[in-house]
Copies of this chain bind each other. A is one copy, B any other.
Amino acid sequence: MTLDPDLFSDCGTDRPLIRIGDKWTMKIIVCLRDGPRRFGELIVPLRITAKVLTESLRAMERDGLLTRTAYGENPPRVEYALTPLGRTLLEPLAAICAWSAAHQPEVLRARSA
């Protein structure tokens, strides 16, 4: 059987809906797993610049994956927290992590050959 020429026509854009494989989305999800975090708290483990972190957080906020809460204090304090929707991403994330953990050596062996 030959492949359907329109096999991927229902994908909307040509990218997957959520850029699940981009550099930051999944790592941010992991960082927020155990509760809300502040901007400066996220910067440290991610080793990300403020600009890129801001862009990533805004994009995830637009998609309903997390919420941004600014408290009118001085110095300013802002907290980011996963929404229930964002939390559902933990499941496919776990599947990818499991695959990676299970097959990483195999890939590295193939790559070095």
Contacts and interface: CB of A to CB of B under 8 A. Distances in A.
A75 to B, nearest CB: 18
Given A16-B96, A23-B15, A3 B107 contact: no
**Copies of this chain per assembly:** 2
Interface string A29-69: 01100100100011011110000000000000011100000
Interface string A1-45: 111111110001011111111110011001100100100011011
Given A3-B45, A64-B110, A91-B99, A8 B27 contact: yes
Given A64-B107, A64-B110, A31 B45 contact: no
A73 interface: no
Interface of A: 1-8, 12, 14-23, 26-27, 30-31, 34, 37, 41-42, 44-47, 62-64, 85, 88-89, 91-92, 95-96, 98-100, 102-104, 106-107, 109-111
